[in-house]
Structure 1
């Protein structure tokens, strides 16, 4: 699996959308279109789980960050051997992807379980100013 930074991958798309109703649907539809354009068909074994992971991350932004983050940004990137996406909002809370926030029940546990089950990685990166974060997912293709 490529360990390059997403901005160096040959395929990249950035979507900024309102953190509210319709965000999950728009993020999924955009992912489906981008993946199809990049030659990753809907029947590829990673696509279904990747869309579920993406949906959960965007839903978390809508549920928990909308009050302080009117916009959410989704970054999609891919190469021949990996798919990378990130969901960014301006809420300062940085969830742990292991332990109480990530290993218990709920959406983040599902994200971590699916990601690791596919041989991928999940990382939370805080903004330099401490007032936002991105959850980065890397999955092998």
Structure 2
């Protein structure tokens, strides 16, 4: 299994990333990576929302992406801001859609947007990165 990597960021704190298989079980690994990063930064108040966001982003990538792997990235973009992102090799942009009362899916991006200060998709030549920013208090 690949080991997580770290990289220095302009805020002086490392970013955390890991390449994972494109399968539902990877959401648990992504949550652990996210929780470890947030704990290291002392931003535990963001842990619950970050776990929800990374779970939904991984689920979207598992369902809609191509190829066999995804990349989870957790970085501190400002002193009190954490970006949670999932990169995949599909260029299909995620679509926010309204789920009906009886629908079992279709709410993922609403769940991402609700706690996020901002979220979006960055297109790349090789695919895309879907990200959400969380802002700590204080």
Normalised by the size of structure 2, how large is the TM-score? 0.78
- Equivalent residue for 1:8? 10
- Equivalent residue for 2:74? 76
Following the alignment from structure 2 to structure 1, what is the Cα–Cα distance between the partners of residues 92 and 96?
Answer: 14
Following the alignment from structure 1 to structure 2, what is the Cα–Cα distance between the partners of residues 54 and 124?
Answer: 14
Instruction: Compute the displacement of 1:103 (Å).
Output: 5.2
Following the alignment from structure 2 to structure 1, what is the Cα–Cα distance between the partners of residues 38 and 115?
Answer: 19
Are residues 1:122 and 2:119 paired? yes
- Equivalent residue for 2:87? 88
- Equivalent residue for 1:55? 55
Which deviates more, 71-80 or 51-60?
Answer: 71-80
- Equivalent residue for 2:112? 111
Are residues 1:30 and 2:33 paired? yes
Give secondary structure in 1 for the equivalent of 2:115. helix
Gaps of 5+ in 1: 1-5, 96-100
Following the alignment from structure 2 to structure 1, what is the Cα–Cα distance between the partners of residues 74 and 12?
Answer: 11
Give secondary structure in 2 for the equivalent of 1:27. helix
Paired residues of 1:9 and 1:77 also in contact (CA < 8 A)? no
Query: C-alpha deviations, 1:74-111, integer Å up to 9, x for none?
Result: 1111243111121100012012xxxxx32523111221
- Equivalent residue for 2:96? 102
Normalised by the size of structure 1, how large is the TM-score? 0.76
- Equivalent residue for 1:3? none
Instruction: Compute the displacement of 1:26 (Å).
Output: 0.3
Gaps of 5+ in 2: 1-7, 100-106
Moved over 3 A (4+): none
Q: Which has the higher strand share?
A: 2
Root-mean-square deviation (Å): 1.8
